[in-house]
Structure 1
Amino acid sequence: MASILYQATPRSANASVPHAPAQAEQARTARINTMGQFAASIAHEVNQPLSAIALNASAALRWLEQDPPRLDHVRDALNIIASAGSHASDMIRSLRCLACKHTGTPTTFPADEPAREVLLLLHTELQQQGIAIESLLTLGQQALRADRVQVQQVLMNLATNAVDAMRANREHPRTLRLSSRRDGAMLHFSVADSGSGVAPEAQQRIYEALYSTRPDGMGLGLAICRAIVEAHGGQLWHEAARTRGAIFHFTVPAP
């Protein structure tokens, strides 16, 4: 993980070579730091599927307590719980691939399916937050060859960041927009929100590992997104929305 998401400080050409005990201690410290970073990355990535499990379990219990019970809603909630559980496991595998400088396991699938799966996992939270969804997914059955879980991971991180950016927005309509299109040899995905946007002082730093604009943020989501997108031969960037909020874009090569 350190080789992908974290940059080591280069040694000065004039620095003296440490003695063997010092080298051993440095190596031990580096291993501990890397393990800590990897653990923090796992904690960051599995937080959203765990939240989806908790929210939908609570919703299922409420539907069961109605008279008569809304079994169709309970079934939907249980399907989301099962999907979120699988997603958490897949995310851990994805992070292990990144730590080993591996792009994962590429498969061929309809390009818009990961975005639809993300909207399903976030459905309950978006309802509770009063956030409207705009789905402008236009790729249809266009094929994408990539690690499906990692593509979904990027979309989930960007969508979750968008939801967080809109939490304090109570005066304006709150909208999450996911869109996709073909752009020459690349497939282009966008996630837009109507939040407060990216602060000027954060424009150049938000993709740095461990940098966060939120007091409770871990500063890992966008760094992981960039590592995944670049490992697939694409790019990740953002811009201000026309009215309010931010739009994050990423591309991956079309097969």
Structure 2
Amino acid sequence: MRYSQTTSSLGLPAQLLLGTVALATLSFGAFFLNVDLTSTAFAYLIVVLLLSLMGSLAASIAVILSVVGLAYFFNAAILTLVIFSLASVVAVGLNRYVLQQDRLLETGAKAQRGEKQTGDALHQSEAYLAQAQELSRTGSFGWKVASGEILWSRETFRIFQCDAATKPTMQFVLQRTHPEDRAAVQRILEQASDDEEDYDHEYRLLLPDGSVKHLHSLARAVRDASGNIEFVGAVTDITATKVVEQELRESEQRFRDYAETASDWFWESGPDHRMTRVTDPANAIGIVSSRLIGQVPWEFAADFESEPEKWRQFRATIDAHLPFRDFVYRTSNEIGASFYVQASGKPIFDGSGKFLGYRGGAADVSSAVRAKQAEQELREVKAELAHVTRVTTLGELTASIAHEINQPLAGVIANADACIRWLQHDPPDLEAARRSVEWIIDDGKRASEVILRVRALAKKTDFEKVSLDVNDLARDTIALVHRELSSHAVSVRTNLAPNLPKIFRDRIQLQQVMINLVMNGIDAMDSVEDCSRELVIRSSQNDSGRVVVAVTDCGIGIRPEVAERLFNPFFTTKSAGLGMGLSICRSIVEAHGGWISASGKDGFGATFEVVLPLQQEEACDGVPRLVA
């Protein structure tokens, strides 16, 4: 078959030339070789059959030439020539018939192979389509309006949650449609079929398990071979999209509610830092949002000129397109009222990194700023009051101070007289005079130390932290109030722990606390007559490493109704007291990161205990402290 296809592709002249050459060669060969007639005729017949593969015309010419050759070269009889001719025609006919059947069989095989390939491709295409429909959650359908016949793809059955054996009908579709959408769906389908027009709509399904699906259905109206209208379309499950849209709407509404109900407001600015958007809550404090649009912050700030360094740093930050947080500035509203704004913002950029401006929030912090200012003023008042209290305490200790100073001064005078006498001897007793001068120096130092302690208490100073030994503080306090202790017949017993670590505190303020506690103990024992009046001062270090100083008296104790109010301002149990001593003590101790407490029972004395950390912990007055 392949040979036939190849040779038949030769042109007719080539076929004739090839046949003539083959017959001529055969004829001359047989003639000169004296081949017999029968063999020569058989050879001619083979050549004719071969030429018949090229076509009927070539074979016919070959038969004629073969007959001429047999007659001319071999003098064949007429009957022989007729028989040869008939045999050639029959052979050629049979050969052509076989070739024709072969071609028909080959054509049929090709058609079968083509049909199989087409079927395989169609099956693969259908599989791809089914997979694509499942991935996109889109099913296809056909609806013949005249007969009511509906055809669904496998994905459409899945969308409607029914078995593929279910026969889809319009009644079934409407039955699965959500009751709230059913009338609208029916109206759309009826109108589309009446007008013979395409349709596109969304609706919901209410499935047997109670779940709801959102569908998007669209179809095109076409005519079939009979001229009847049918709709070919697709239905997509858009439930996930609807859920995301609903969540997005709820999220937007939620943040819109936050923005509308918050006391803060939100703003946006462009690349030139000019305001492009300010939300309405700014109106609540008297700012008209529209007035800020187009302005840069320093144009409506009231402290731009008074605090240039703050604004210079702010402008450097936003010019560098850096985020900023809690920037506080002062401005005024429409009626001229001054208030403080705290703003935070972050830079925004597009996908290519181009700076678009800032987006942020702001809040009215006037109350907080003014509260902080009030706290500062209160601290200043407390410091002034503490100073007044110290001076008042010094007034109460005048006799004790005078006694402490008089003693060394008397010694100075006595030793000076003695020194003169020693020098008046003949010869002068220089050694004795020298000892008298040394005693004068010692007494002068004692008097100087007393004056320095008094001056420190009377001096109005800022908070100054120094390395401090609480045992030395206790001894200095006893020296300052020595006269008061003696005049009230109070003895002092100390139980000071050795080698206590030093604390980093303000000496003057803590000594004021110590003096106040000792003086309170002396006052508490005024009415004690049946036992000795003893004041005990102890120092120690607790388990957490803090230093503890305690002052214990054996006075009237603390009544239960008084215990909770001891440290309140202006509360006092003394007839002539101001009620500020213990309150100031608590403020001082808490400012140093510690605490003060009182314990005791009515009639059994009282103990006031001060606990101080070695390093500065968080203070309660808001003043920045060193934190360990």
1:249 matches 2:609: yes
Partner of 1:173: 532
> What is the Cα deviation at residue 70 of structure 1?
8.6
> What is the Cα deviation at residue 57 of structure 1?
2.2
Partner of 2:512: 153
Partner of 2:569: 209
Partner of 1:55: 400
CA RMSD for the aligned pairs? 3.3
Whether contact under 8 Å (2:400, 2:484) holds in the other structure is yes
1:86 matches 2:445: no
Relative distance call for 1:63 and 1:249 in structure 2 (3 A) is closer
1:230 matches 2:552: no
Matched residues in 1 for 2:382 and 2:540: separation?
34
SS in 2 for 1:248: strand
1:221 matches 2:571: no
Relative distance call for 1:50 and 1:221 in structure 2 (3 A) is same
Code of the residue aligned with 2:614 in structure 1: it is A
Matched residues in 2 for 1:82 and 1:64: separation?
12
Query: Deviations 1:55-109 (Å, cap 9, x if unpaired)?
Result: 342576689889x95997976873464144223234x32xxx4xxxxxx111112
Matched residues in 2 for 1:240 and 1:159: separation?
16
Aligned residues: 214
Which aligned runs of 4 or more in structure 1 are off by greater than 4 angstroms? Answer: 34-41, 58-66, 68-77
Matched residues in 1 for 2:602 and 2:570: separation?
29
> What is the Cα deviation at residue 215 of structure 1?
1.0
1:43 matches 2:393: no
TM-score, normalization by structure 2 = 0.31
> What is the Cα deviation at residue 117 of structure 1?
0.8
Matched residues in 1 for 2:472 and 2:601: separation?
25
Partner of 2:521: 162
Query: Deviations 1:178-235 (Å, cap 9, x if unpaired)?
Result: 1110112211110100100112221111101111111101111111111111111111
Partner of 2:466: 107
> What is the Cα deviation at residue 164 of structure 1?
0.9
Identical residues among aligned pairs (%): 25
Which has the larger displacement, 193-202 or 239-248? 239-248
SS in 1 for 2:481: helix
Matched residues in 2 for 1:108 and 1:37: separation?
24
For CA contacts below 8 A with separation 6 or more, give which structure has more relative contact order: 1
1:193 matches 2:553: yes
Code of the residue aligned with 2:400 in structure 1: it is L
Matched residues in 1 for 2:570 and 2:522: separation?
20
| Larger gyration radius, structure 1 or structure 2 | 2
> What is the Cα deviation at residue 110 of structure 1?
2.0
TM-score, normalization by structure 1 = 0.71
Structure 1 unaligned blocks of 5 or more = 1-19, 21-29, 98-103
Code of the residue aligned with 1:151 in structure 2: it is L
SS in 2 for 1:134: strand
Code of the residue aligned with 2:567 in structure 1: it is Y
Whether contact under 8 Å (1:194, 1:244) holds in the other structure is yes
Whether contact under 8 Å (2:521, 2:552) holds in the other structure is yes
Matched residues in 1 for 2:594 and 2:406: separation?
42
Code of the residue aligned with 1:156 in structure 2: it is I
Code of the residue aligned with 1:175 in structure 2: it is E
Code of the residue aligned with 1:153 in structure 2: it is Q
> What is the Cα deviation at residue 243 of structure 1?
8.0
Whether contact under 8 Å (2:546, 2:611) holds in the other structure is yes
